[in-house]
Chains A and B, each alone.
Chain A
Amino acid sequence: MGAYRAEDDYDYLFKVVLTGDSGVGKSNLLSRFTRNDFSNDSRATIGVEFATRSIQCDDKIVKAQIWDTAGQERYRAITSAYYRGAVGALLVYDVTRHVTFENVERWLKELRDHTDANIVIMLVGNKADLRHLRAISTEDAKGFAERENTFFMETSALEALNVENAFTEVLTEIYRVVSKKALEAGDDPTTALPKGQTINVGGRDDISAVKKPGCCSA
């Protein structure tokens, strides 16, 4: 009973949520990141599902528990319960469908209403492989992300473009924030940490992140 499982061997556990309109590719981003898998006809997510994957940050193992929610507004009330405890979010839209970008604002509001102010948010423009169908320019989205103080990245779950980067960036940032807090407070009760260790605040602001995330300022 309760056998020790190797996958439970981690230093940090971060809960990250995927939100955004139906059909923008949330589930495929998740499967690409956690199983390197893509399905052309994955059915609509009903309720909530999640998957996990661990990555290395500095010398620590960070386990990401990524929750995938249903995109249709109808399900929001019940799924909002699942925002609880989230420390990161990927807010996904479809670069070929303008309406999904228009709705980002609403999703952002919902995220901020239901989660901790320190949550790390990344705006993700998915389906970037469909270049000929693009409806939202990178600049527009980048501008929006800057105004809203979120990270931004364009991805393609189909081509495995930037998916790894997007998740890693968010997780690394959470790790940075958490370890900085831990450094300041000595011990940090805000996130689900097995150990509140002091960790160096490695400063690398590369990739296509446009701005320091809202977690430090908002």
Chain B
Amino acid sequence: MFGRLRLTTTMAIRSVSVVFFLLIIGGRWIVFADGSSGGAGRNGYSGGAWSSAVAPSNVGLAVAVTVMAGLAVAFTVAYSRRGSIGSPWSLRRRKHALQPSQWNAFFNDQGRLSDGGVKFLKKVRSGGVDPSIRPEVWPFLLGVYDLNSTEEERDSIRQQKQKEYENLRRQCREIHKRNENGCDSKQTAQSSNTEDSQVLDSHDIAEVNSSKRSIQVEEESEKLNSKSILQDGDCEENSTNSEETETSPLLEKEEEAESHDTVSSDSTNSEETETSPLQAKDEAECVNSEETETLPLVAKEEAESQDKVNQEKDTLTPSPNPKSQAEEEFNTTWQRIIRLDAVRANDEWVPYSPSQAAVSDKKARGIATEVGLNDYEHLEPCRIFHAARLVGILEAYAVYDPEIGYCQGMSDLLSPLIAVIEDDALAFWCFVGFMSKARHNFRLDEVGIRRQLSMVSKIIKYKDIRLYRHLENLEAEDCFFVYRMVVVLFRRELTFEQTLCLWEVMWADQAAIRTGIAKATWGRIRLRAPPTEDLLLYAIAASVLQRRKTIIEEYSGMDEIMKECNSMAGRLDVWKLLDDAHDLVVNLHDKI
């Protein structure tokens, strides 16, 4: 009953042609209806309250006044309800998720999205993706597949990406092996033998060509000179099977990004590559996505504004010998923390991925052994399996993007991806696509995170100067209190399903920008809010703004605001949040 009332008041305020007015008189609902149009409001109201409500007749001027007052009341009700749990608001605005039938209908005979993905992105922006087709859809959203690709092209990309991923995994194993052998000589000669053989086993299990075994053995004999390990590794690989080893290890991934086409830039020039692994050829193209069909990931870089790139370059000069440093870090820190985080990833994903949840104990342990994950005694098979996949992919990423390597929080971002996408290689490349923007959150120099926090601050400032002044008074205008939301993109504040919805909408925005769709006039006219790279930040600002009253009236310290933000978990309505975020985008996009 109460819920219905809320729905109706909300409707009354927001719809252009107001259908109902509600009055609360002596605790009794009185409804004024102009008799036209139905819609969600009426549907939601068809029931007890509607039929029992009494509209007084013969009222006259007094009623008109009362109606105005009632409107004010209704407005207040609606306003104070904003941000409350389960707001029906979102139900009205949320369009349905992209359905399998719609998705299939987007493709033409060649398996190409018929309109370059415009309808597809529009749909996802407004309602997310139906869970059943997520594994197919996400590679498009995340730039693994170009929106203009044909099925044939995607097949070949998939094969190529598979190889590249396997290559990265192989490099991980090599690093492990070098590391363990190094430990052997330093410490207990015998005791780590078991682990050593474990790694060898994993080679057998893995899908790596047996021919590569010999390379590894050769490499081992060379590993004494630790400084040049990686370099040596590269050379060898390149010389032995130059065809398929596009991925050269740590810090040289620009080759891999370009791999088969163009430029084999001189491999030792690491300065360029430090800024971003995908950046190497961003200057090549600006708007057109056609050229980048085969390598959609690279196109992402156009999204980065030039000044940002410059800024990053400026701040990134230190790190004299990043290559050996990266391997050192891989060994001393990343490996350990990756495993630590992997085994404590929670199991929220389980209901959404029945096949992975039902994995056999044997298979789970087999994969754990493959990636050298040992510390999982207390876990059930599906979580061992999940943890092992996390380890494999995160390590591969650390090799792929050694400037970032591994930073806590990244497992939060990967976990939902592997829950949805069962193929490791595809999940990895989706993660790479996701990280092309998110990686800035994890940079050592914290430039990325600071930029985002200041952007949230700016949004709040432009939208609500009173709240902003209050934050200033509390010395909280730097918005550090939303730090966690920025770093793991709301993963800790939203449920699994909510997170995926938010991310999908956000990815659709980024894809629209990446492919140039956003720049077309089409975008402005047809999309309510223009796509933005920073939808997340608008959503974060919206979540703070939803609590403005409490913050202004009750909080007198930054710690209290932080507590409020950290305890938003489970109290957010993602579609309401997105609606508010889109409103902010509409109003502030040009200013910011």
| Bound Cα distance A97, B77 (Å) | 56
Q: Is the CB of B483 within 8 A of A74?
A: no
Q: Is the CB of B554 within 8 A of A2?
A: yes
Cα A42 to Cα B336 with chains together (Å):
17
For residues 368 through 384 of chain B, which have their beta carbon under 8 Å from a beta carbon of chain A? Answer: 378
Interface 9-residue window, one of B62-70, B311-319, B515-523, B559-567? B559-567
**Taking the complex as formed, is A185 at the interface, i.e. its CB lies under 8 A from any CB of chain B?**
no
Contact with B along A75-89 (1 / 0, CB 8 A): 101100100000000
Known: A2-B554, A44-B344, A47-B487. A75 touches B408 (CB 8 A): yes
B121 at the interface (CB under 8 A from A): no
Interface digits, A33-74 against B, CB 8 Å rule (1 contact, 0 not)?
000000011111011111000000000000001000011111
**Which of A1, A47, A75 has the largest number of chain B CB atoms within 10 A?**
A47
Shortest CB distance A114–B (Å):
15
Bound complex: CA A43 to CA B412 (Å): 9
In the assembled complex, the CB of A46 is this many whole angstroms from the nearest CB of chain B, namely 5
A49 to B408 Cα, complex, angstroms: 15
Contact A40 B378, beta carbon cutoff 8 Å: yes
A78 touches B553 (CB 8 A): no
How far in angstroms is the closest Cβ of chain B from A204?
A: 31
Specify the main secondary structure of chain A where it touches its partner. loop
Chain B positions 385 through 411: 1 when the CB is less than 8 Å from some CB of chain A, otherwise 0: 000000000000000000000011101
Count A/B pairs, Cβ under 8 Å.
72
Taking a contact as CB atoms under 8 Å apart, the answer to whether A2 and B408 are in contact is: no
Residues of B within 8 A of A2 (CB): 553-554, 556
In A192-211, the 8 Å CB interface with B consists of: none
Q: Which residue of B lies closest to A99 (CB)?
A: B336
CB-based contact B344/A41 at 8 Å:
yes
Interface presence of B588 (CB below 8 A): no
How far apart are the CA atoms of A19 and B173 in the complex, in Å? 32
B344 engages A43 (CB within 8 Å):
yes
In the complex, whether A22 has a CB less than 8 A from a CB of chain B is: yes
- The smallest C-beta distance from B183 to any residue of chain A, in angstroms, reads 13
Question: Contacting A65 at CB < 8 Å: which of B337, B487, B559?
Answer: B559
Find chain B residues with CB under 8 A from A65 CB: 559
Q: How many angstroms between the C-alpha atoms of A1 and B345 in the bound complex? A: 40
Which chain A residues numbered 19 to 40 have a C-beta less than 8 Å away from chain B? 22-23, 40
Q: Which residues of A contact B151 (CB under 8 A)?
A: none
Q: Does B587 contact A (CB under 8 A)?
A: no
Chain B residue with minimal CB distance to A24? B340
- Say yes or no: B484 contacts A43, CB within 8 Å: no
What are the residues of chain A within 8 A of B566 when measuring CB–CB?
49
Give bound CA distance, A133 to B563, whole Å. Answer: 36
Among the listed stretches B51-59, B355-363, B442-450, which one makes contact with chain A, having 4 or more residues with CB under 8 Å of it?
A: B442-450
Q: Could you tell me if A74 and B407 are in contact, using CB atoms closer than 8 angstroms?
A: yes
Verify A46–B408 contact, CB threshold 8 A.
Answer: yes
B329 to chain A, nearest CB (A): 10
Please, which residues of chain A bring their CB within 8 A of the CB of B345? 41, 43
Q: Are B333 and A46 within 8 A (Cβ)?
A: no
Q: Which residues of A contact B344 (CB under 8 A)?
A: 40-44
Q: Is the CB of B449 within 8 A of A78?
A: yes
Contact in complex: B341, A73 (CB < 8 Å): no
Chain B residues whose CB sits within 8 angstroms of the CB of A78 once the complex forms: 446, 449, 480, 483
A44 touches B554 (CB 8 A): no
Query: Which of B337, B484, B563 sits near A72, CB closer than 8 Å?
Result: B337
Q: Are A41 and B449 CB-contacts (below 8 A) given A73-B333, A75-B408?
A: no
Residue of B nearest to A44 (CB): B408
Nearest Cβ on chain A to B220's Cβ, whole angstroms? 25
Contact among A3, A41, A46 with B483 in the assembled complex (CB-CB below 8 Å): A46
Residues of A within 8 A of B411 (CB): 44
Instruction: Mark interface residues in B93-124 (1 if CB within 8 Å of A CB, else 0).
Output: 00000000000000000000000000000000
Asked if residues B562 and A74 are in contact (CB atoms below 8 Å), the reply is: no
Q: Are B483 and A47 in contact (CB under 8 A)?
A: yes
Does B492 lie within 8 Å of A46, measured CB to CB? Answer: yes
CB A43 to nearest CB in B, in angstroms, measures: 6
A44 surroundings in chain B (CB, below 8 A): 340-341, 344, 408-409, 411
Q: Name the B residues within 8 Å of A1 (CB-CB).
A: 553-554
Within 8 Å of chain A (Cβ to Cβ): is B343? yes
Q: In the complex, what residues of B have CB within 8 A of residue A48's CB?
A: 483, 562
State in angstroms the CA–CA spacing of A23 and B342 once bound together: 11
User: How far apart are the CA atoms of A70 and B492 in the complex, in Å?
Assistant: 14
CA distance A43 to B343 in the complex (A): 9
B553 touches A50 (CB 8 A): no
User: In the assembled complex, which residues on chain B have CB atoms less than 8 Å from the CB atom of A42?
Assistant: 344
Residue B265 interfacial (CB < 8 Å): no
List the A side residues contacting B337 at CB < 8 Å: 22-23, 72
- Cross-chain contact B446 with A72 (CB below 8 angstroms): no
State the Cβ distance, A8 to closest chain B Cβ, in Å: 10
B71 in contact (CB, < 8 A): no
In the assembled complex, the Cα of A40 lies from the Cα of B442 at a distance in Å of 26
Indicate if the CB atoms of A77 and B562 lie closer than 8 Å: no
Complex CA gap A54/B492 in Å reads: 27
Least Cβ–Cβ distance between B337 and chain A, in angstroms: 5
Q: Is the CB of A47 within 8 A of B407?
A: no
Chain A residues whose CB sits within 8 angstroms of the CB of B333 once the complex forms:
72-73
User: Does B553 lie within 8 Å of A43, measured CB to CB?
Assistant: no
Residue in chain A with minimal CB distance to B443: A74
Least Cβ–Cβ distance between A85 and chain B, in angstroms: 10
Of all chain A residues, which has the CB nearest B556?
A: A2
Assuming A42-B344, A74-B442, is B408 touching A22 (CB within 8 A)?
yes
**A23 surroundings in chain B (CB, below 8 A):** 337, 340
Instruction: Please indicate the chain B residues that have their CB under 8 angstroms from the CB of A49 in the complex.
Output: 484, 562, 566
Q: Mark B405-421, 1 if CB is under 8 A from A, else 0.
A: 00111011000000000
**Cα separation A49 to B485 with both chains bound (whole Å):** 12
Chain A residues engaging chain B, CB cutoff 8 angstroms:
1-3, 22-23, 40-44, 46-50, 65, 70-75, 77-78, 81, 99
| Besides the known contacts A50-B563, A70-B408, 8 further A-B residue pairs in the complex with CB atoms under 8 A apart | A43-B345, A44-B409, A46-B412, A46-B483, A48-B562, A49-B562, A50-B559, A72-B337
Please name 23 pairs of A and B residues whose Cβ atoms are closer than 8 Å in the assembled complex, sorted by A. A2-B553, A2-B556, A22-B408, A23-B337, A40-B344, A41-B343, A41-B346, A43-B344, A43-B345, A44-B340, A44-B344, A46-B409, A46-B483, A47-B483, A48-B483, A48-B562, A50-B559, A72-B337, A73-B333, A74-B442, A75-B408, A78-B449, A99-B336
